[in-house]
Structure 1
Amino acid sequence: MNILIIEDEPLAARQLRAMLQDYDPMITVLDVLDSVAASVEWFQTQTPPDLLLADIELVDGQSFDIFSQVAVRCPVIFTTAYDEYALRAFQVHSVDYLLKPIDEAALRRSLTKFGEMQRLYGAAHPALNLRELLATLGPAPTAPPDYRDRFLIKQGARLVPVEVADMAYFYARDGLTFVRTYDARDLLMDYTLDELTDKLNPKDFFRANRQFILYNKAVGRVHLHFNGRLKVDLKPPIDEEVFISRDRAGAFRAWLGE
């Protein structure tokens, strides 16, 4: 199988190449491209690969820009740090959508899924249209997500209801999860940050990193930091620095309304 990689981070590209070889030594990586311009030129002059692995945010734009400039006649697995592009990705022959950092097991599942789709739809037409892809993913949800607007929090021998609107941010420390309220109380939660991510409205809350989930009203000043990172001042303040990685910075700024 011939695979093309579009990825502007050299380390991530090397890791993808290594994981592909571990999955199947017969895989050939045709090239590794790091920009929209280089990718458009490649597709204009080369035979399409069997599969494309593409990051979304590139040095000169988004990989979606490639599809608007040249015909890409192959299925795609997107590898990205952003989760807000999923539906758009499925409109351009996407087989799967993997969030960075890429887990080897998740990549293996995607490649296996691609193989199953080839067998199901025919090797001559491996790329799926949106309707076919959504059918493989199961029935669409019939109701919007039921996000929490309050939590019962244990305080001594009592269970106290606390409104989500009173919660500034959630943070993990020493294996425990806490919420800091706007009146600067630190309350122990019975959920992990991963569990809370599914219970909170993403319009209001943002998973900043492995340690913090932030409410938008708790974000004070945002400082540009080196290597493309952002440093965030919180309200109320906390005695540790909160950073947004380069990979998450674009999504964070969009969430804040940039």
Structure 2
Amino acid sequence: MKLLIFEDEPLAQQRVIQIIRKKRPDWEITGTAQSIEEAKTIIKKNTDIDLIICDIHLADGDCFKIFENQNLQIPIIFLTAYDQHALESFNHYCIDYVLKPLQESRLIKAFEKYEQLCTGEKSAEVDPNLIKAVMDKITHKAYKHRFLTKVGNKMIFKDIHEIAYFYAEDKIVYLKEIGTSKKFIVNFSLDDLEKNVLDPAQFYRINRSIIVNLEALIEMKSYHNGRLKLIVKSTDDLDLIVARERVGQFKDWLNQ
């Protein structure tokens, strides 16, 4: 079984390779690419590929440009930090759509799905249940637009556009207001905010304790150990540092 890997982040690419060598040692990785142009060249040189594992955001743009004007019937497992590209992925022989941060168990399930769906003639059908699940998520997902919080004896709402970032401190989660140093307690964990409450196109978790709002971002600077420091529209001295392992995904998020 021969496959290609298109992933522009070296650490993410190495992670995929390690999982394959560990869990599918008989699979042959024929080539890898970090950009659209590299991927196109590799596909032209390899006409007997059984599977492609492809990150949606490559170094020079969205991977869908690789498959434009090509009648490729090669099953693809897409990798991405975002779910808004799911519908587009099904136009390109998608077998599965795996969200980042990449978990070994989730990628293995994608491999198993490929093995179940693909015959010896290298034809594949997309699981209709997968399509329904993605459609339901896209159609019915409603993100929170305001938060109820308490100030003294008063209960007030803070609109999502007034929030610079959320952060956790001593097991309490706060939202920090844009343009001031005011903070308000919210009754959600950061995990809940990240996975279920906030729009991932607007908010990004830069490290374990902070989720930033794209609308509040002013600039970013290089920081030691390969990290980034963010400057936002809030008047306080809390350091907003993008964790090193999240820098690549954060840049992809900004460029979406």
Smaller-chain TM-score range? Answer: 0.7 to 0.9
| Superposed counterparts of 1:53-92, under 5 Å | 53-68=53-68, 70-92=70-92
TM-superposed CA distance for 1:46, in Å, is: 1.9
Alpha-carbon distance in structure 2 between the residues aligned to 1:243 and 1:84: 26
What is the alpha-carbon distance in structure 1 between the residues aligned to residue 28 and residue 121 of structure 2? Answer: 19
Match of 2:220 among 216, 219, 223: 223
For 1:51-79, what per-residue CA distance to the aligned partner results, in whole angstroms no more than 9, with x for missing partners? 11112333344322211154432111122
Q: Which region of structure 1 is more displaced relative to structure 2, 64-73 or 158-167?
A: 158-167
Amino acid at match of 1:232: L
Query: TM-score with structure 1 length normalisation?
Result: 0.78
Cα shift readout 1:130-177 (whole Å, capped 9, x = no counterpart) = xx4454343643964333333344678x68342334433211234432
Query: Would you say 1:170 and 2:172 are equivalent positions?
Result: no
- Distance in 2 (CA, whole Å) between partners of 1:148 and 1:137 is 25
Structure 1 residues 86-109: Cα deviation after superposition (integer angstroms, max 9, x where no partner): 222221111222233321111112
Aligned position for 1:236: 234
Q: Residue 82 of structure 1 contacts residue 248 of structure 1 at CA under 8 Å; is this kept in 2?
A: no
Q: 1:37 to 1:147 in 2, by over 3 A?
A: closer
Instruction: Give, in angstroms, the shift of residue 253 of structure 1.
Output: 4.3
Question: What stretches of structure 2 of length at least 5 have no aligned partner?
Answer: none
Per the alignment, residue 253 of structure 2 pairs with 251
Q: Are the counterparts in 1 of residues 165 and 175 from structure 2 also a CA contact under 8 Å?
A: yes
Tell me, in whole angstroms, the C-alpha distance in 2 between the residues paired with 1:225 and 1:83.
28
Alpha-carbon separation, structure 1, partners of 2:171 and 2:67: 44
The RMSD of aligned alpha carbons is 3.1
More divergent stretch after superposition (69-78 vs 102-111): 69-78
**Distance in 1 separating the partners of 2:77 and 2:65:** 16
CA distance in structure 1 between the partners assigned to 2:128 and 2:175 by the alignment: 37
Contact persistence 2:31–2:42 (CA under 8 A): no
**Local SS of the residue matching 1:180:** strand
Question: In the alignment, which of 135, 141, 144 is matched to residue 136 of structure 2?
Answer: 141
Displacement of 1:190 in angstroms is: 2.5
State the match for 2:181 in structure 1: 184
Unaligned runs of 5+ in 1: none
From the superposition, tell whether residues 60 and 237 of structure 1 become closer, same or farther in structure 2 (CA, over 3 Å): same
CA gap 1:42/1:193 in 2 versus in 1, 3 angstroms: same
The residue number in structure 2 matching 1:160 is 155
Structure 2: which amino acid aligns with 1:209? I
**3-state SS of 1:127 partner:** coil
The residue aligned with 1:195 is 192
- Identical-pair percentage: 28
Q: Does 2:31 correspond to 1:27?
A: no
Task: Quote the Cα distance in structure 1 between the aligned partners of 2:85 and 2:148.
Answer: 33
**Contact persistence 2:219–2:232 (CA under 8 A):** no
1:246 maps to amino acid: G
Runs of 4+ in structure 1 deviating by more than 6 angstroms, as ranges, are 226-229
**Does the 8 Å contact 1:153/1:187 carry over to 2?**
yes
- Counterpart AA for 1:186: K
The number of equivalent residue pairs is 245
Give yes or no for contact 1:81–1:248 (8 Å, CA) kept in 2.
no
